Amino acid sequence: MSTDQTTDVPPRLGLRRDGLDPAPEVTSVREAHGTCPVTTLVGHTATLVAGYAEARTVHGDPAFGFDGLPLPPGGLDADEMARRRAGMLLALDPPVHTRLRRMLTGRFTVRAMKALEPRVVAIVDDALEAMAAGGPPADLVADFALPVPSLVICELLGVPYEDRDGFQERAERTLRSDLSVEERTRLFAESREYMASLVARARRDPGEDLLGLLVREHGDRPAAEGGIDDDEMVGLANLLLVAGHETTSNVIALGTYELLRDPEQMAAMRAALDDDAATSRAVEEMLRHVTPVSAGFPRAATQDVEVGPHVISAGTVVTASLCAANRDPALGEGLDHLDVRRDPLPHVAFGYGIHHCLGAPLARIELRIAFQAILRRFPGLALATDPDAVEFRHENLIHGVEALPVTW
């Protein structure tokens, strides 16, 4: 695989997409059962794997972890890096990861998430009413796909409604691949400062939201004694807000885009709307096909480990293409195409192993309700632009479209 001709820096190939598909170079890596050097979002040089089995190994084998990752370029020292990682479940190893995840697991069970369903329905309906009142055309991203998951996760965390726009803007910019180190550092600091204010409020007056729960049940003792400290709560809040609204919003937008491009799939989706189980199966296929998180967080091998036909040496930083893994012919036939009638496949859109997405039950409920509601509310929903004119994000960790003009 070629590197940048002027700097000899490997490309950000793990984040590169061709529309909704993996970049052709990534598909070639998967088909050859190969590897190639890439640059990660934070500047590490890593080895990319792209097959389904390889992705599950990298995400599920305890021989891969985060503690052995080198410091990213940009001058951060080890203490500051540890502070930034505090509470970030997707970048923590056991036993710290185990302690924090156990605190949250009960709040994110299927039963607990179903209790939120009436509130999700109300948020979705309000967004659709506002979208209809504005009249066509509308931007499905700004008017529906972003605000719905954002409001749901903000409610879960106790984020004031009036603060959502500022957070949403920071979160979107933080995930862009074209930021300078200085800009990324500034945005990260702003986000942590805001989250720290929420944690301080929860310490003073713990409510019924997630931060209040953590303060009441675990906030009376430090992390070293099995509790939780403020930096960890700040990190958890940051992670849940980004992971909880950016990923779900992009599945809504990209899934709708695919349906609007394919009348057969749209007809099949509409036929499933009155059957929650059938709609949930269709959502599972959309998650596989869209795969909003292009590549998993890089990990370092703590020992020599077999990944597919390769032996990865201890110390090697590895990342897996989740979008390519979810199209692997080893999973089934015709996986480059969306088929909402397909029986669900064991995709890795939510990751795999101990870092499998904690909020997956909530995301599935939101997606089912959102697709049922918007397709019922707008039976004539259509793209308001040429499909080829829709602009996709470029080399972002979380894939999406900049806007999706629609009419009805």
Condensed to tens digits (0 to 9), the pLDDT of residues 23-74 reads 999 999 999 999 999 998 888 899 999 999 999 999 999 999 999 898 877 6
Question: What is residue 8's predicted lDDT score, i.e. its pLDDT?
Answer: 66
Question: What is residue 5's predicted lDDT score, i.e. its pLDDT?
Answer: 39
* Residue where the block lists tokens 């969306």: 338
**Is residue 389 included in any domain, yes or no?**
yes
Alpha carbons 263 and 273: distance in angstroms, whole number: 15
Residue type present at position 50 = A
Write down how long the chain is: 408
What percent of the chain has a predicted confidence (pLDDT) above 70? 94
Evaluate whether 174 touches 191 at the Cβ level (below 8 Å). Answer: yes
**Is residue 6 included in any domain, yes or no?**
no
**How many other C-beta atoms lie within 10 A of the C-beta of residue 142?**
15
Question: What is residue 75's predicted lDDT score, i.e. its pLDDT?
Answer: 63
pLDDT of 353 > 80? The answer is yes
Query: Phi/psi of residue 299, each to 5°?
Result: -130, 160
Question: What is residue 6's predicted lDDT score, i.e. its pLDDT?
Answer: 39
**Is residue 332 included in any domain, yes or no?**
yes
Q: In a 3-state reduction of DSSP, which class is residue 300?
A: strand
Alpha carbons 210 and 87: distance in angstroms, whole number: 14
What percent of the chain has a predicted confidence (pLDDT) above 90? 66
Of 131, 190, 141, 142, the C-alpha closest to 166 is 190
**Is residue 268 included in any domain, yes or no?**
yes
Q: In a 3-state reduction of DSSP, which class is residue 161?
A: helix
pLDDT of 175 > 60? The answer is no
Alpha carbons 404 and 261: distance in angstroms, whole number: 12
Token code pair at residue 178 = 């074209």
Evaluate whether 406 touches 131 at the Cβ level (below 8 Å). Answer: no
What's the mean pLDDT in 207-224? 91
Of 69, 134, 75, 98, the C-alpha closest to 318 is 69
**Is residue 7 included in any domain, yes or no?**
no
Of 273, 285, 231, the C-alpha closest to 80 is 231
Q: In a 3-state reduction of DSSP, which class is residue 192?
A: helix
Count of structural domains, the chain? 1
**Is residue 2 included in any domain, yes or no?**
no
> Which pairs from 335-341 meet CB under 8 Å and 24+ separation?
335/288, 335/289, 336/21, 337/289, 338/258, 338/262, 338/265, 338/285, 338/286, 338/289, 339/265, 339/285, 340/265, 340/268, 340/269, 340/272, 340/281, 340/282, 340/285, 340/286, 341/268, 341/281, 341/282
Alpha carbons 282 and 204: distance in angstroms, whole number: 44
pLDDT of 113 > 90? The answer is no
Largest CA distance in the chain: 59
Alpha carbons 21 and 321: distance in angstroms, whole number: 11
Q: In the structure, what pLDDT confidence band is assigned to residue 4 with cuts at 50, 70 and 90?
A: very low
pLDDT tens, 87-109? 899 899 999 999 999 999 888 88
**How many other C-beta atoms lie within 10 A of the C-beta of residue 39?**
23
- Which CATH number goes with the domain that contains 81? 1.10.630.10
213 is in which domain, residue-wise? 13-407
Q: Return the sign of the alpha-carbon dihedral for residues 129, 134, 137, 143.
A: negative
- Its pTM stands at 0.91
pLDDT tens, 335-351? 999 999 999 999 999 99
**Is residue 1 included in any domain, yes or no?**
no
Question: What is residue 16's predicted lDDT score, i.e. its pLDDT?
Answer: 92
Ordered DSSP codes for 330-371 = TT-S-TTS--TTSPP----TT--GGGS-TTHHHHHHHHHHHH
Alpha carbons 124 and 256: distance in angstroms, whole number: 15
Question: What is residue 7's predicted lDDT score, i.e. its pLDDT?
Answer: 47
β pairing state of 36-39 and 21-22: unpaired
**Is residue 4 included in any domain, yes or no?**
no
